[in-house]
Structure 1
Amino acid sequence: MAILTTLLGLGLIGAGAMLIAVKRNGPAVLDTVDRLAGPSHDVELVHRASYGDNPSQKLLVYRSGSAQEPQPVFVFFHGGAWAHGDPDDYGFVARNMAAQGYVVVLGGYRLNEAGRYPAMLQDTAATVAWVHENIAGHGGDPGRIVLSGHSAGAYNAVQVALEDRWLEEAGAPSGAVRGVVGLSGPYDFYPFDTDRSRAAFGSVGAGAESQPVAHTSADAPPMLLVHGEADTVVKIRNSQALAAQLQEAGASVETLYLPGKTHNDPLLALTNPWRRDPLVFDRIAQFLRLNASLSVPVQAKNP
């Protein structure tokens, strides 16, 4: 009986420690769990780069060591309400996506006061510009770039893909982005009614122009919007509103709404062992194959 009591006590202590760790830095815990629970593979971190003076202006490049031909590029931006987050904690995204045949770039951006609008967009666009200019040297195809992100990172990716000025100002060519996968993203949150949105946007006088729903057009890159129907952090109406606007504009958009799922569930779907429920991961993989598997065809010259 004493042994059983001791084991139960140790289990409760372990569970409590896990909860504390998740609360402090959930992505880092997920990264550790994925590393331990996932299959062995040859994906490795092959490059680190800084594109600015701020420590958060960094990116990490992952790829499979067995890849021979140039691969499409999956660029992922972390969440964290534009106040916290670190690409180094998202290795699980890189390991799972690179194993599917992609060069993966985990992008960071300035946070808190330094990252107030539009700094987070300038940094996102700077990451895309760096990828377009340099990824060929790391086995990636600059003609096949797909952006993705979770929560605040999904906002960054979608806004940069829809509002042309950010990529243009960063020096990335028009059409550099072949598709976008948004996970639990805020796309229609003006007027700002939360402390985080007021700090990141309202404090600098941003208005409706800061919203993805204000920049939809027929030539927007194809998008896949994934959202939990039980998300209370970023309401599902954000994805619903953006999808409706894109459809009305004649753009290509797919949605995956998850009954009973909350804010972090779409991100968990990129992590082992949660990938055992393949709904989200397989849908993302299908979207990527459709929009990034083939190189852009060379236009024939007129005789």
Structure 2
Amino acid sequence: MALAKSVLAMVAALVAGQALAQQSPMPEELAWKLTEIGRVIDPPKTAALYVPMQQKEPYAGVKTERDVKYGPADRHLLDVFMPEANSAARPVLIYIHGGGFVAGNKRGPGSPFFDNVMLWAVRSGFVGVNATYRLAPQSPWPAGTEDIAAVVGWVASEIGARGGDPARIYLMGHSAGAIHVANYVSHPEFHKVKDGGLAGAVMVSGLYELGKAPLGNGEIAYYGTDPSRYAERSALAGLLATKTPLMITAAELDPPPFVEQFELLKQASCKRASGCAHATMLPQHSHMSEVYSINTADGRLTDEILEFVKTGK
């Protein structure tokens, strides 16, 4: 009997997998390659799979403003992507890259990332803002949160002249960028704009409660070595208290801590007076592919973002 149940379970899993493959916009060969890379963070191998799918400059119909200063530090830089044609004021999507607190940039030399996020944003009716920030260990907590606050402040005051609507600012971050977004939303003492200035926050594979698992070297470089400070520097409590609409995402092939923290915030958010966060788990994707796939035929993440923006929940 046990063997029969096991066989039936295997058949059901195979059928479910085949159904997913038939419905998925991800080619089967690509899905297998991501599975082979595994539940690790591997930007070079993952980028190699997605670079051929992305646009190359010049970008038709898109106007760019590069390396705009939003503060005094060398890394206080942002890019603005706008439609070439004049249009009514658009909502704004700010994107904050990852990099484990100690690395990363809004754009690497010769790389389509993260222009891809901006191109999707313009194509989908936004003005896009792609920002970078100071890194640890030279700039530890709360430098990232301060920088996000400065970016939002700059957008609120300057984006109207570039076709954006300062009343509809959406802040999106990935990995360490998602953590910085979470810390900005959850720590209003850093806000430079009334009530944080956001119409919504999108956090893609972030960590929200420090100390649930051992911290990595990058996290220690940013947050410090004193565990007694981790609770006040975590985002979870503030995210449960905020009125800002929240969207959270993780990938099926994320390293386990990201999946665990996604589930933690997903369940906890349903106790908020404002209701559950918009939560989605991306099948087949990995930690890097979820954002490298933006502006390709695979719109599973971006479709959810548009639904979140449309409904506010």
Q: TM-score range, shorter-chain basis?
A: 0.7 to 0.9
TM-score, normalised to structure 2, is 0.76
Q: Could you tell me which residue of structure 2 aligns to residue 106 of structure 1?
A: 130
Q: What residue in structure 1 maps to residue 224 of structure 2? A: 202
User: Match of 1:54?
Assistant: 73
How far does the alpha carbon of each residue in 1:123-168 deviate from its partner, in whole angstroms, 9 at most, with x for none?
011100111011111111110000001101011112211221111x
Q: Secondary structure at the match of 1:113?
A: coil
Name the SS of the counterpart of 2:71 in structure 1.
coil
SS in structure 2 at match of 1:181: strand
- Give the root-mean-square deviation of aligned CA atoms: 2.8
Paired residues of 2:97 and 2:176 also in contact (CA < 8 A): yes
Structure 2 counterpart of 1:223: 246
1:261, distance to aligned residue in structure 2 (A) = 2.9
Corresponding residue SS for 1:236: helix
Structure 1 residue 228 displacement after superposition? 1.1
Gapped regions of structure 2 (runs ≥ 5): 1-36, 109-113
Match of 1:193 in 2: 215
Alignment partner of 1:124 is 2:148: yes
Summarize the Cα distance change of 1:32–1:121 in structure 2 as closer, same or farther, 3 Å threshold.
Answer: farther
Seen in structure 2, the aligned counterparts of structure 1 residues 62 and 247 have a Cα distance that, compared at 3 Å, is same
Question: Could you say which structure has the greater relative contact order, defined with CA pairs below 8 angstroms and 6 or more residues apart?
Answer: 2
Other structure's SS at 1:61 match? strand
For the residue of structure 2 that corresponds to 1:216, the secondary structure is helix
Question: Is 2:313 the counterpart of 1:289?
Answer: no
What SS is found at the alignment partner of 1:63? strand
Q: Distance in 1 between the 2:65 and 2:215 partners?
A: 41
Q: Which of 76, 79, 99 is the matching residue for 2:98?
A: 79
1:35 has 2:55 as partner: yes
Query: Are the equivalent residues in 1 in contact too, given 2:47–2:292 (CA < 8 A)?
Result: no
Q: Which structure 1 residue ranges, 4+ long, deviate > 4 Å from structure 2?
A: 22-33
Deviates more, 1:61-70 or 1:127-136: 61-70
Residue 139 of structure 2, aligned match among 99, 111, 115: 115
Please tell me whether residue 163 in structure 1 is matched to residue 184 in structure 2.
no
The unaligned stretches of length 5 or more in structure 1 are 1-18, 293-303
- The 1:251/1:211 distance shift into structure 2, 3 A limit, reads farther
Aligned mates of 2:43, 2:253 — CA distance in 1: 20
Q: In the TM superposition, what is the alpha-carbon distance from 1:220 to its structure 2 partner?
A: 2.5
Is the 1:71–1:139 contact (alpha carbons within 8 Å) kept by the matching residues of 2? yes
SS at match of 2:107: helix
Mean CA deviation greater in 227-236 or 277-286: 227-236
Structure 2 residue 278 is the aligned partner of structure 1 residue 250: no
